[in-house]
């Protein structure tokens, strides 16, 4: 294809602006985005009720949480590629049907084993949903200005879902049994199943090539051990077998990349990563999610266990930051039309750095207002950076490979969420244990519980009561907040790294 032909194609694409039907399709596609992102955080609020009802072992409790993101992360690339081949709308509808059905089964699981199995199946169908939504936006909104706005809405809904999880969980669990957090998928996905065939056009890769089962297996063998290793490091530390799992994932990842480079029609075109804009936007995406999820991890604990708010009130305290995240993602759209991304993204992430620095000094029960302001500042930066980086990821990939590019972007999201909890959460836990100085005279069991987590310390303090219990709670709060100060500065450093990557890579033009 000549340069003139490419130029004409780009001009033609820019003139294809959608009408009301395209915007209605956007509303429909936001339903699964919001649901899947809420599902990432809502379960932690239901876990105590599940533990009382089903009586899972400690290992089963971990798998109830981990089965979903492990399977989801492992299958994203595969499902994105299958959507390119068989139809992205078709994959979306299959995923929505399966996710709603399995969610209903999970709500009434009679034991921990069936709940774990249901969570794993939810990961399978969730992996069909997410790449399909983003790649369908790429095919519906061919005009880049409209696409920027559509992706701003998409990124805002994804981030909003993560922050809404605690609010939704608190409200549902205050009035219903734990199964309600799974049943909410049904009324959300039924409108999607009814309206998507009418409003959302089908799209696929016109030259998909053959299915490569070996590549599918290799992609699973790469992602699942790596994600599992990160979670093991967070729970058991460097002395665990996590490094073995990580090495296994790296080996299979090398085999996967080698096979893709040799294949005539690869499952994932590795040449995408040679594009500086694509790779840079992907890293910005990942580090931004690490910053967001890491922030939510320790701020949620501080609000509930140090400040003393209920889960629902703590969730509502995050609403201003959520609103700022959504607003900044939308406001950045006209700005990104005129200002290069290498300037817009670092400037936006400066707000996130300031938010983290504020958290480093926001300690004690009286710090509520400062924490809310810090989350607003963080949300401004993350919302804008996610919108611009996601749009660049899709714009840098050929339209026919939108599903694969979307899947890579979604994988960065999932890895970012895991790393946010594992890295920043793991550092915070280690610092908490190192800084904790318990008063003398504690029972052995209470001292052990307090030495593990802040929640364990608060529970032990409530059981002991009196001045000794108050001393335990004060010591735990002091140790936790000391750890938050250091962890927040590390989080600020990660956001600075994202800003540097953006400044160095997002200014490159595509070949």
- DSSP class per residue in 373-399: HHHHHHHHHHHHHHHHHHHHHHHHS-G
Label residue 114 by pLDDT band (50, 70, 90): very high
Are the beta carbons of 405 and 394 closer than 8 angstroms? yes
Q: 8-11 — which CB contacts under 8 Å span 24+ positions? A: none
Are the beta carbons of 424 and 287 closer than 8 angstroms? no
Are the beta carbons of 259 and 218 closer than 8 angstroms? yes
pLDDT score, position 387: 86
Nearest of 23, 511, 26, 59 to residue 272 by alpha carbon: 511
User: According to the per-residue pLDDT averaged within each range, which of 13-17, 353-357, 436-440 is highest?
Assistant: 353-357
Token duo for residue 435: 């800084």
Q: Find the helix or strand (DSSP H, E) in which 413 lies.
A: helix 402-419
Q: What is the 3-state secondary structure (H, E, C) of 132-165?
A: HHHHHHHHHCCCHHHHHHHHHHHHHHHHHHHHHH
> b or e along 270-279 (b: 16 or more beta carbons within 10 Å of the residue's beta carbon)?
eebeebbbbb
How far is 167 from 181, CA to CA, in rounded Å? 11
CB atoms within 10 A of CB 244: 12
Mean pLDDT calculated for residue range 298-327? 80
Half-sphere exposure of 242 (CA within 13 A, CB side): 16
pLDDT score, position 284: 92
pLDDT score, position 41: 67
Nearest of 91, 77, 79, 509 to residue 260 by alpha carbon: 77
308 three-class SS? coil
Q: What is the pLDDT of residues 278-293, one digit of tens each?
A: 889 889 988 988 888 7
Q: Which residue has the higher pLDDT, 166 or 373?
A: 373
Residue 437 φ/ψ region, left for φ over 0, alpha for ψ in the -120 to 50 degree band, beta for the rest: beta
Token duo for residue 61: 């409790």
Is the pLDDT at 165 greater than 70? The verdict is yes
Lowest-pLDDT choice from 123-132, 166-175, 194-203, 210-219 = 166-175
How far is 21 from 186, CA to CA, in rounded Å? 24
How far is 452 from 430, CA to CA, in rounded Å? 9
Nearest of 308, 261, 37, 325 to residue 162 by alpha carbon: 37
Is the pLDDT at 398 greater than 90? The verdict is no
Are the beta carbons of 102 and 118 closer than 8 angstroms? yes
Q: Which residue has the higher pLDDT, 9 or 408?
A: 408
pLDDT score, position 251: 94
Is the pLDDT at 477 greater than 80? The verdict is yes
pLDDT score, position 509: 44
Q: 215-219 — which CB contacts under 8 Å span 24+ positions? A: 215/256, 215/259, 215/260, 215/263, 215/266, 215/267, 215/268, 216/78, 216/267, 218/252, 218/255, 218/256, 218/259, 219/74, 219/77, 219/78, 219/256, 219/267, 219/268
How far is 500 from 182, CA to CA, in rounded Å? 40
Residues ≥6 apart with Cβ < 8 Å to 258: none
pLDDT score, position 58: 61
| Percent of the chain scoring above 70 in pLDDT | 89
How far is 288 from 170, CA to CA, in rounded Å? 26
* Interior angle at CA 478, CA 475 and CA 480, nearest 5: 105
Q: Which residue has the higher pLDDT, 371 or 81?
A: 371
How far is 160 from 326, CA to CA, in rounded Å? 7
Token duo for residue 303: 């609000």
How far is 374 from 360, CA to CA, in rounded Å? 10
Is the pLDDT at 206 greater than 50? The verdict is yes
Mean pLDDT calculated for residue range 148-164? 76
Give how far Cα 197 sits from Cα of 162, 370, 471, 474, Å. 28, 47, 61, 57
Is the pLDDT at 4 greater than 50? The verdict is no
Label residue 45 by pLDDT band (50, 70, 90): low
Residues ≥6 apart with Cβ < 8 Å to 316: 167
Is the pLDDT at 10 greater than 60? The verdict is no
Mean pLDDT calculated for residue range 431-444? 81
How far is 412 from 414, CA to CA, in rounded Å? 6
Cα dihedral across residues 375, 380, 381, 387: positive or negative: positive
Q: What is the DSSP letter of 273?
A: G
How far is 457 from 437, CA to CA, in rounded Å? 12
Q: Count helices and strands (H / E) in the chain.
A: 20, 0
């Amino acid at each position: 294809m000549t340069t003139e032909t490419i130029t004409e194609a780009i001009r033609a694409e820019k003139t294809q602006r959608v009408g009301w039907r395209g915007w209605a399709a956007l509303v429909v596609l936001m339903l699964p985005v919001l649901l899947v992102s809420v599902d990432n955080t809502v379960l932690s609020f239901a876990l105590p009720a599940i533990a009382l009802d089903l009586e899972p072992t400690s290992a089963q409790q971990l798998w109830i949480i981990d089965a979903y993101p492990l399977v989801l992360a492992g299958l994203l690339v595969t499902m994105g590629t299958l959507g390119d081949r068989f139809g992205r709308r078709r994959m979306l509808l299959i995923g929505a049907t399966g996710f709603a059905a399995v969610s209903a089964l999970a709500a009434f699981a009679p034991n921990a084993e069936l709940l774990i199995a249901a969570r794993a199946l939810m990961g399978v169908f969730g992996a069909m949903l997410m790449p399909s939504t983003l790649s369908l936006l790429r095919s519906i909104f061919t005009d880049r200005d409209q696409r920027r706005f559509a992706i701003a809405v998409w990124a805002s809904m994804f981030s909003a879902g993560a922050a809404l999880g605690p609010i939704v969980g608190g409200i549902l669990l205050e009035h219903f049994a734990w199964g309600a957090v799974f049943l909410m998928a049904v009324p959300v996905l039924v409108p999607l199943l009814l309206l998507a065939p009418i409003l959302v056009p089908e799209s696929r890769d016109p030259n998909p090539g053959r299915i490569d089962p070996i590549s599918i297996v290799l992609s699973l063998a790469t992602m699942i051990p790596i994600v599992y290793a990160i979670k093991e490091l967070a729970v058991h530390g460097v002395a665990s077998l996590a490094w073995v799992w990580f090495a296994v994932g790296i080996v299979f990842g090398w085999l996967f990349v080698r096979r893709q480079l040799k294949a005539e029609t690869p499952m994932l075109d590795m040449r995408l990563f040679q594009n500086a804009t694509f790779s840079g936007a992907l890293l910005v995406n990942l580090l931004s999610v690490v910053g967001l999820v890491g922030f939510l991890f320790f701020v949620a604990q501080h609000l509930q266990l140090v400040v003393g708010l209920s889960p629902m009130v703590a969730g509502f305290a995050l609403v201003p930051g959520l609103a700022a995240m959504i607003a900044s993602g939308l406001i950045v759209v006209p700005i990104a039309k005129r200002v290069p991304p290498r300037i817009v993204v670092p400037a936006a992430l400066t707000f996130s750095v300031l938010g983290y620095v504020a958290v480093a000094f926001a300690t004690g029960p009286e710090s509520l207002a400062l924490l809310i302001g810090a989350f607003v500042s963080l949300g401004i930066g993350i919302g804008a950076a996610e919108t611009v980086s996601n749009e660049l990821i899709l714009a840098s990939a050929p339209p026919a490979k939108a599903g694969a590019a979307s899947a890579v972007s979604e994988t960065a999201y999932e890895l970012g969420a895991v790393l946010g909890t594992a890295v920043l959460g793991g550092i915070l836990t280690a610092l908490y244990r190192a800084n904790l100085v318990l008063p003398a005279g504690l029972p052995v069991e209470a001292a052990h519980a307090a030495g593990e987590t802040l929640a364990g310390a608060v529970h032990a303090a409530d059981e002991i009561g009196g001045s000794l219990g108050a001393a335990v709670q004060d010591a735990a709060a002091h140790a936790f907040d000391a750890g938050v100060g250091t962890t927040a500065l590390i989080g600020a450093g990660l956001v600075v790294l994202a800003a540097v990557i953006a400044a160095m890579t997002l200014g490159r033009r595509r070949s």
